[in-house]
């Protein structure tokens, strides 16, 4: 029982990390950069 | 004591509060040593190479001056003039003039000049003098200039340019203390600097600027009494249309042979290490889910990727040595005619070269290309260059299916195939670029001028730092994204368990089995079994994850994966293995690359086009390879 709980906790953490790393991290970085530059993410200034 | 250490010590001894921070911007021609100077000043470890265009975006670092004042240093892309043409040059111009949104102009502009070729920097120096912001001129690489016999009158130069001049050797951290003192002294004039009134110069103003540059050079620089003949002699061979191409082919060939020949003992050693680790963990832990996760998921999966570290280190050792020596820019010169024939701009060499490490910096490096169509063409073909993430896939399949035999008594067949895969990526990039130019964007190619850097003995510290950085990036990926994907793959391969009374292997009833069996009919014509099909999905996170995924899939299925290649050699046909290689030459197996294309083009259109054409190309190439191999009896 304890072993299953540890395994599922590890799998859940790995899933959360993969989702953050693949989908959220880049978006958060771009958003922070856009905010620092004083404009919104869709203003087109990143070009 | 390095400048930051010295500064901290002095500031601590003084005990007083530091004055307002100073903002200094490093500007100069491409390949004049700006990033080396940035590293020397701030203690950073940004990539430095002996060719133009390595820096494409601004980077910021800081140091503490001897009086305790904080100096923030901005490293900017190289430019020959404030009259910017490409996106990276626009960044530099706007940063210097304080035109970037939300940023004030720098207090001091530090102009880094290659002392061996002052002619190139004079126009920018005169433009900066006319802008009137406080500036310092650093005559970098002064050791090489002195060795060449050049005599520079720094005092006269300082008077002519209205800015202090210091001599430096950034890679050896010489002259840095004096430069920091001058930055501080010039920063005192920042408040009284004139406002930005710079405008694009007229043709007459440009001609006047060039005449002024000529006059100053004549007054301040005495050419060497004995001109340098070494560079000329070496270039007459290395840039020869026939001998040069011959040398290039030999160099590349030796590089790929070495990757296999030298890495084999190290790879066997790390394979044995992971095998022993798996055995120890297997013996220590009781049977159950946790043991399966550790041995089949993490050790078999991550281990099967990490064993390829020696190949990556050896390949990058060669590439970095060639870059630092100054050979890569010569290789670009040799290939320029071929690239131009395919419709690629000469400046595409830099992004394409960067893409051999990873397509992401390669795509970002396309900012050095001013023409939008040329830039888009380069972005579209950059992922076809063989990035380091493909090395584990190529090496695994080649080691497993291609015999270790010699061709003509001297050449390794495995190295030959490896070389062929790199060549396939390069040739397909040229063909795609040619098609894009012919079909979508007809028009004459733009002229391209390239400055050939001086030959240099590679700096062992820079080489070691860059190779370690590549190894670190690889291991970091193995410990983060690859590890997380392996855990997920193990989960998908293990759950749900086989139902009561099931006859087949348990993995056939798992989520991974279900997904693999669902996709496999589409990939059956190209010879992929369901295990190969399922490995492609996590392979979208990073190409080398597919290797780890295969390790986990076969480990959970009960196969002996201590040596994954040997296991695959029993499970796959030669035709399927070759088709898998062909798939990996072309397939867009990297979500991050597609993401960066979206960011750089500011549109979803181009990543979608890239994904579709590369997937189509991969499928057709694998189909041809598989069906041909089967027809020849390799099925």
Of A21, A37, A46, the CB nearest to B481: A21
Average pLDDT of the residues in B378-399: 91
- Would residue A42 count as lying in a domain? no
Q: Is B481 within 8 Å of A18 when comparing Cβ atoms?
A: yes
Residues of B in contact with A12 (CB under 8 A): none
pTM: 0.70
Tell me how far the alpha carbon of residue B521 is from its chain's centroid: 37
> B332-364 pLDDT, tens per residue?
788 777 888 888 877 787 788 878 878 888 888
What's the gap in Å between the CA of A31 and the closest CA on chain B? 12
Going by C-alpha positions, the residue among B371, B351, B373, B353 that lies closest to residue B362 is B351
What's the gap in Å between the CA of A30 and the closest CA on chain B? 9
Q: Is B293 within 8 Å of A26 when comparing Cβ atoms?
A: no
Average pLDDT of the residues in B116-136: 92
User: What is the predicted pLDDT for the residue at B446?
Assistant: 62
Residues of B in contact with A4 (CB under 8 A): 289
What's the gap in Å between the CA of A26 and the closest CA on chain B? 8
Tokens representing B56?
A: 């494409």
Residues of A in contact with B477 (CB under 8 A): none
pLDDT-derived band of residue B193, with 50, 70 and 90 as boundaries?
confident
> Which chain A residue lies closest to B593 (C-alpha atoms)?
A22
User: What is the predicted pLDDT for the residue at B54?
Assistant: 56
What's the gap in Å between the CA of B600 and the closest CA on chain A? 6
Average pLDDT of the residues in B367-375: 80
Average pLDDT of the residues in B384-405: 90
- Would residue A29 count as lying in a domain? yes
Which carries the bigger pLDDT value, residue B505 or residue B84? B84
Choose from B397-401, B414-418, B502-506, B621-625 the range with maximum mean pLDDT: B621-625
- Would residue A45 count as lying in a domain? no
- Partner A contacted by B602 (CB < 8 A): yes
The count of structural domains within chain A is 1
Beta bridge partners, B27, equal B111
Which carries the bigger pLDDT value, residue B6 or residue B473? B473
Q: Is B301 exposed, middle or buried (0-12, 13-18, 19+ CB in 10 A)?
A: buried
- Would residue A44 count as lying in a domain? no
Report the C-alpha gap between B184 and B173 in whole angstroms: 18
Residues of A in contact with B480 (CB under 8 A): 17, 21
Per DSSP, B573 falls in state -
Per-residue pLDDT for B588 more than 50? yes
- Partner A contacted by B447 (CB < 8 A): no
- Would residue A15 count as lying in a domain? yes
pLDDT averaged over 10-residue windows placed end to end, chain A, 47 residues: 89 92 80 63 44
User: What is the predicted pLDDT for the residue at B212?
Assistant: 94
- Would residue A3 count as lying in a domain? yes
> Which residues lie below 8 Å from residue B527, measured CB to CB, with a gap of 6+?
B573, B575, B576, B579, B622, B626, B630, B635
Strands B221-222 and B151-152 come out as antiparallel
Per-residue pLDDT for B16 more than 70? no
Q: Is B491 within 8 Å of A11 when comparing Cβ atoms?
A: yes
User: What is the predicted pLDDT for the residue at B444?
Assistant: 62
Tokens representing B630?
A: 């089967």
> Which residues lie below 8 Å from residue B232, measured CB to CB, with a gap of 6+?
none
Residues of A in contact with B288 (CB under 8 A): 3
Q: Are residues B361 and B67 in contact, defined by beta-carbon separation less than 8 angstroms?
A: no
pLDDT-derived band of residue B57, with 50, 70 and 90 as boundaries?
low
**Could you give the domains of chain B?**
3-222 (3.40.50.300), 247-443+460-631 (no CATH)
pLDDT-derived band of residue B447, with 50, 70 and 90 as boundaries?
low
Residues of B in contact with A27 (CB under 8 A): none
Q: Is A38 within 8 Å of B101 when comparing Cβ atoms?
A: yes
Residues of B in contact with A36 (CB under 8 A): 102
pLDDT-derived band of residue B183, with 50, 70 and 90 as boundaries?
very high
Of A4, A38, A39, the CB nearest to B289: A4
User: What is the predicted pLDDT for the residue at B5?
Assistant: 45
Q: Looking up tokens 């016999």, which residue turns up?
A: B149
Of A14, A38, A39, the CB nearest to B484: A14
Q: Is A18 within 8 Å of B483 when comparing Cβ atoms?
A: no
User: What is the predicted pLDDT for the residue at B2?
Assistant: 41
- Partner A contacted by B491 (CB < 8 A): yes
Average pLDDT of the residues in B68-75: 89
> B206-235 pLDDT, tens per residue?
899 999 999 999 999 998 877 767 888 899
Q: Is B491 within 8 Å of A44 when comparing Cβ atoms?
A: no
> Which chain A residue lies closest to B100 (C-alpha atoms)?
A37
User: What is the predicted pLDDT for the residue at A13?
Assistant: 95
pLDDT-derived band of residue B176, with 50, 70 and 90 as boundaries?
very high
Per DSSP, A20 falls in state I
Report the C-alpha gap between B237 and B443 in whole angstroms: 34
- Partner A contacted by B480 (CB < 8 A): yes
Residues of B in contact with A38 (CB under 8 A): 101-102
Residues of B in contact with A45 (CB under 8 A): 101
Give the range of the structural domain holding residue A12, as residue numbers without chain letter. 1-37
User: What is the predicted pLDDT for the residue at B14?
Assistant: 47
Choose from A31-40, B63-72, B134-143 the range with maximum mean pLDDT: B134-143
Average pLDDT of the residues in B587-613: 88
Average pLDDT of the residues in B438-460: 75
> Which chain B residue lies closest to A13 (C-alpha atoms)?
B484
Going by C-alpha positions, the residue among B382, B430, B390 that lies closest to residue B585 is B390
Per-residue pLDDT for B289 more than 70? yes
Choose from B266-270, B413-417, B571-575 the range with maximum mean pLDDT: B571-575
CB neighbours of residue B321 within 10 Å: 15
């Amino acid at each position: 029982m304890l072993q299953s709980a540890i395994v599922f906790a590890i799998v859940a953490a790995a899933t959360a990390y993969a989702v953050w790393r693949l989908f959220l991290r880049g978006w958060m970085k771009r958003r922070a950069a856009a905010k620092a530059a004083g404009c919104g993410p869709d203003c087109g200034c990143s070009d | 004591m390095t400048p930051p250490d010295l500064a901290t010590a002095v500031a601590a001894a003084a005990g007083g509060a530091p004055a307002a921070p100073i903002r200094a911007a490093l500007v100069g021609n491409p390949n004049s040593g700006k990033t080396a100077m940035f590293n020397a000043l701030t203690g950073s470890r940004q990539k430095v190479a002996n060719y133009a265009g390595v820096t494409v975006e601004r980077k910021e670092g800081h140091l503490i001056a001897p009086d305790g004042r904080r100096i923030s240093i901005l490293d900017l892309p190289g430019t020959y003039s404030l009259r910017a043409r490409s996106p990276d040059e626009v960044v530099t111009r706007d940063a210097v003039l304080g035109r970037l949104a939300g940023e004030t102009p720098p207090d001091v502009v530090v102009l880094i000049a290659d002392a061996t070729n002052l002619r190139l920097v004079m126009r920018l120096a005169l433009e900066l003098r006319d802008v009137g912001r406080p500036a310092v001129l650093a005559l970098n690489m002064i050791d090489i200039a002195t060795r060449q016999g050049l005599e520079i009158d720094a005092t006269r130069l300082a008077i002519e340019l209205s800015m202090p001049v210091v001599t430096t050797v950034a890679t050896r951290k010489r002259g840095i203390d004096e430069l920091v003192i001058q930055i501080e002294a010039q920063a005192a004039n920042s408040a009284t600097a004139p406002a930005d009134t710079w405008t694009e110069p007229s043709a007459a103003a440009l001609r006047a600027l060039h005449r002024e540059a000529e006059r100053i050079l004549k007054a301040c620089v005495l050419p060497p009494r004995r001109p340098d003949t070494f560079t000329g002699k070496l270039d007459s061979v290395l840039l020869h249309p026939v001998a040069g191409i011959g040398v290039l082919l030999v160099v590349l060939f030796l590089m790929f042979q070495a990757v296999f020949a030298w890495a084999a003992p190290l790879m066997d050693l790390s394979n044995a290490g992971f095998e022993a680790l798996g055995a120890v963990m297997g013996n220590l832990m009781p049977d159950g889910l946790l043991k399966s996760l550790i041995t089949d998921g993490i050790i078999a999966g991550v281990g099967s990727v990490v064993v390829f570290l020696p190949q990556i280190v050896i390949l990058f050792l060669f590439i970095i040595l060639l870059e630092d020596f100054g050979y890569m820019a010569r290789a670009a010169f040799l290939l320029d005619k071929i690239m131009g024939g395919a419709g690629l701009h000469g400046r595409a060499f830099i992004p394409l070269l960067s893409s051999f490490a990873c397509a992401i910096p390669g795509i970002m490096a396309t900012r050095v290309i001013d023409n939008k169509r040329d830039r888009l063409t380069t972005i579209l073909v950059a992922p076809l260059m063989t990035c380091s993430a493909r090395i584990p896939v190529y090496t695994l399949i080649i080691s497993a299916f291609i015999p270790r035999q010699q061709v003509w008594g001297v050449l390794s067949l495995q190295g030959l195939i490896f070389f062929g895969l790199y060549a396939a990526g390069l040739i397909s990039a040229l063909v795609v670029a040619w098609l894009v130019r012919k079909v979508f964007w007809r028009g004459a190619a733009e002229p391209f001028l390239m400055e050939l850097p001086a030959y240099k003995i590679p700096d062992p510290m820079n080489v070691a730092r860059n190779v370690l950085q590549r190894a670190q990036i690889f291991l970091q990926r193995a410990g983060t994204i690859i590890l997380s994907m392996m855990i997920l793959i193990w989960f998908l391969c293990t759950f749900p368990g086989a139902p009561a009374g099931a006859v087949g292997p348990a993995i056939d009833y798992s989520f991974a089995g279900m997904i693999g069996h669902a996709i496999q009919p589409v990939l059956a014509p190209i010879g992929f079994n369901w295990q190969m099909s399922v490995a492609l999905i996590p392979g979208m996170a990073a190409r080398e994850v597919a290797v780890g995924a295969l390790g986990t899939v076969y480990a959970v299925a009960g196969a002996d994966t201590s040596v994954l290649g040997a296991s695959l050699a029993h499970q796959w046909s030669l035709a399927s293995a070759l088709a898998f290689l062909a798939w990996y030459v072309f397939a867009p197996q990297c979500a991050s690359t597609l993401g960066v294309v979206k960011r750089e083009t500011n549109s979803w259109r181009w990543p979608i086009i890239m994904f579709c054409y590369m997937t189509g190309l991969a499928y057709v190439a694998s189909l041809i390879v598989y069906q041909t191999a089967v027809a020849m009896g390799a099925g």
